[in-house]
Amino acid sequence: MKKVRETEQAHPLFRQVYEYALNRIERGEWKSHDKLPSIRLLAEELGVHRLTVFKAYRQLTEDGKVYVKDKSGYYVSQGHGQMLVQGFDEGSGVSSYLHSNPMYDIQRIPVKYQFSLALIDPGLLPNLFLSDYVKRVFDMYPKVMGTYASVQGDEELRETLSGHFRKQQHLQLSSGELLITSGAQQAINLIARMMLGPMDSVLIERPTYSVAMDIFRRAGARLVPVEITPEGYDLDEVEALMAKHKPRMFYMNPTHHNPTGYTVPVRQRKLLVELAERYRCLLVEDDPFRDMYFEEEPPPPIFAYDTEGWVVYIGSFSKYVAPGLRICAVACRYPLMERLIKIKSLEDNGTPLLNQKIFLHYYTSPRLQQHLGKLRIALQVQKEIMEQELSQSGWQWETPGGGLTLWVKLPDGTPVDALLRKSLEHSLSFVPGSVFDPLGEMRSWLRLCYSFVSEPLLREGMQKLTALARKL
């Protein structure tokens, strides 16, 4: 059974036995002072060599999980396996899922003044127009709902998007170098699966998209923060960190960055690719806000400067086309692409074809550009309203060139968590800065999304928020 051997390669056998026993102890199946199965018995049960079990037991002893009595008896140490007594407690690898997801918890609360969701007000999306397209899609592909897409994604869609990337963003790209995923989050997941093992280092921006941190931590990776500022990164610091930590990848959102709105300048984009090559560190470029610019278009993606395949590009448009479709395109080179497809094939065997066809036909419609133009203006107006309302607050922020959020610094010592609690009582929500900070600090910061509520609620809400802050 080849696969089993592969798995064993990845985890030497004795460490699998070690973990197996440790799980039994932690789940309380083997309780304090229980005698462990004899080496002979467990070796038989697991079909491994007795020396392998011996090695694992010895390790457990060294780690204080078990103790030896008499000559050959191994017993569970006192106090182990107390906390978890029933059958469903997290097995190894699960525990890291089971933290609460603060951003998700906040966003789930229904409020009148919604400043926590980095989403566009559905009222600003061309829904009715879109639904016409959907109806046409069914006339064009009457059997679309009866058909699975290929794992990599609909060829017609990949052709179209690679063409778009070539034209609009000067990317050298073929349809074979694109993978369609169900949203950017799935893309980050697939890439993490591909690249990360325990103790691997990942460079991430500080602050950064909190869900990405959760995904990398779940993979057992170590997060190494890189400060992002209105000027981009300190590349000397980036190089020093690459040299010191030998990170497997650098997860970045260099264009209208979430939550700050900052954009990394062109000069740095080229240098980052050189650093990636020199230190063999994959750049994972998450780029959902590129088309949401105000005055001027942002610089080309970092992917555009890559020639050696050290950049993976996550291009998602559905935030402003149709978030409900969950369509995202990942661009990378062979052999990465081949691996991503295999991982995707085990994950969900492909993104629904219907969603891909709807997206395709709307995306290629002449109306999209008009819609985009309007949307940019609407978002800029909302941003300016929010800034006006903040102008008297004494709070600090950098006016973003695009995106959906303001990254706001309150006077030091402002109890932002208390402000959030108070705000929720007044049906207003935002995300505290600490959620985006890999170090859990940035306690006087918060992220305000101006994209989801429009005048007059936006004005009202901001007045409430600043008033509440003054009271504290």
**What gap in Å lies between CA 366 and CA 126, rounded to an integer?**
13
Q: Which residues within the stretch 355-384 sit at the binding site for its own copies (CB under 8 A)? A: 355, 358
Nearest to 441 by CA among 227, 159, 288: 227
Contact range with its own copies by CB under 8 A, out of 116-124, 256-264, 377-385, 405-413 = 116-124
Interface with its own copies, residue 104, by CB under 8 A: yes
Interface with its own copies, residue 84, by CB under 8 A: no
Interface with its own copies, residue 180, by CB under 8 A: no
Contact range with its own copies by CB under 8 A, out of 259-267, 287-295, 347-355, 397-405 = 347-355
**What gap in Å lies between CA 283 and CA 248, rounded to an integer?**
9
**What gap in Å lies between CA 21 and CA 42, rounded to an integer?**
10
Q: Please identify, using beta-carbon distances, which residue of 353 and 446 lies nearer to its own copies.
A: 353
Asked if the bond preceding 301 is cis, omega within 30° of 0, the reply is no
Q: How does 21-44 read in b/e, with b if 16+ C-beta sit within 10 Å?
A: bbbbbbbbebeeebebbebeebbe
Q: How far is the CB of 341 from its own copies (least distance, A)?
A: 10
Give the containing element (helix H, strand E) for 114.
strand 113-114
CB 112 within 8 A of CB 428: yes
Exactly one of 160, 189, 208, 444 binds its own copies (CB under 8 A); which one?
189
**Residue type present at position 369:** Q
**Residue type present at position 331:** A
**What gap in Å lies between CA 348 and CA 344, rounded to an integer?**
6
**What gap in Å lies between CA 177 and CA 160, rounded to an integer?**
12
Interface with its own copies, residue 98, by CB under 8 A: yes
Interface with its own copies, residue 399, by CB under 8 A: no
Q: How far is the CB of 343 from its own copies (least distance, A)?
A: 5
Contact range with its own copies by CB under 8 A, out of 18-26, 227-235, 365-373, 459-467 = 18-26
Site size toward its own copies, by CB under 8 A: 116
Q: Please identify, using beta-carbon distances, which residue of 265 and 323 lies nearer to its own copies.
A: 323
Q: Which residues within the stretch 404-463 sit at the binding site for its own copies (CB under 8 A)? A: 438-440
Classify the C-alpha dihedral 97-103-105-110 as positive or negative: negative
> How is residue 465 annotated by DSSP?
H
Contact range with its own copies by CB under 8 A, out of 148-156, 168-176, 264-272, 399-407 = 148-156
Q: Which residues within the stretch 262-301 sit at the binding site for its own copies (CB under 8 A)? A: 280, 282
Q: Which residues within the stretch 234-263 sit at the binding site for its own copies (CB under 8 A)? A: 244-246, 248
Interface with its own copies, residue 147, by CB under 8 A: yes
Q: Please identify, using beta-carbon distances, which residue of 170 and 342 lies nearer to its own copies.
A: 342
Exactly one of 84, 323, 381, 409 binds its own copies (CB under 8 A); which one?
323
Interface with its own copies, residue 94, by CB under 8 A: yes
**What gap in Å lies between CA 78 and CA 74, rounded to an integer?**
13
Exactly one of 353, 375, 442, 469 binds its own copies (CB under 8 A); which one?
353
Interface with its own copies, residue 149, by CB under 8 A: yes
* Residue 108, token pair as written in the block: 């789930």
Q: Please identify, using beta-carbon distances, which residue of 239 and 387 lies nearer to its own copies.
A: 239
Q: How distant, in Å, are the alpha carbons of 107, 399, 428 from that of 462?
A: 17, 16, 9
**Helices marked H in 151-281 — which ranges?**
155-169, 183-195, 210-218, 235-245, 266-278
CB 169 within 8 A of CB 285: no
**What gap in Å lies between CA 466 and CA 469, rounded to an integer?**
5
Q: Please identify, using beta-carbon distances, which residue of 123 and 394 lies nearer to its own copies.
A: 123
Give the containing element (helix H, strand E) for 407.
strand 405-409
CB 340 within 8 A of CB 191: yes
Exactly one of 185, 316, 423, 451 binds its own copies (CB under 8 A); which one?
185
Contact range with its own copies by CB under 8 A, out of 73-81, 296-304, 319-327, 369-377 = 319-327
Contact range with its own copies by CB under 8 A, out of 140-148, 161-169, 371-379, 381-389 = 140-148
Interface with its own copies, residue 324, by CB under 8 A: yes
Contact range with its own copies by CB under 8 A, out of 9-17, 163-171, 254-262, 293-301 = 9-17
**What gap in Å lies between CA 225 and CA 118, rounded to an integer?**
22
Interface with its own copies, residue 217, by CB under 8 A: yes
Interface with its own copies, residue 326, by CB under 8 A: yes
Interface with its own copies, residue 134, by CB under 8 A: yes
